[in-house]
Structure 1
């Protein structure tokens, strides 16, 4: 999965096609973004997931010490 939303996904998210309008809407929505050199907003997929209530990262299982393996040494 890509790190950034595609142009089509940004359009679908904001309901705007023009980059300036997309940026305004993203600010209103409280979604962080950066403006690229073409003037289009660059939106991290995780920023959208976090804002809309999804998990922005997978929880990792904490490593555990295998005591049984150590006692057999």
Structure 2
């Protein structure tokens, strides 16, 4: 979630290749700013993914597809 509003994390997204990224919501975590008073859930991954697509200037569907591949790869060992 921090990538949605923290400059440091936005910079990291620019430097890490998409095929090396995973997404999460850091829950439970008391977010501030845009997500203050919002209960952490996997639904927030949509916002994270949109932000990554925007930062990397890539189509959202392409980012979603690659993040799914990354996650499957991690859990399949």
* TM-score normalized with structure 2 length: 0.25
Return the structure number with greater relative CO, CA threshold 8 A, min gap 6. 2
Structure number, greater radius of gyration: 1
* TM-score normalized with structure 1 length: 0.26
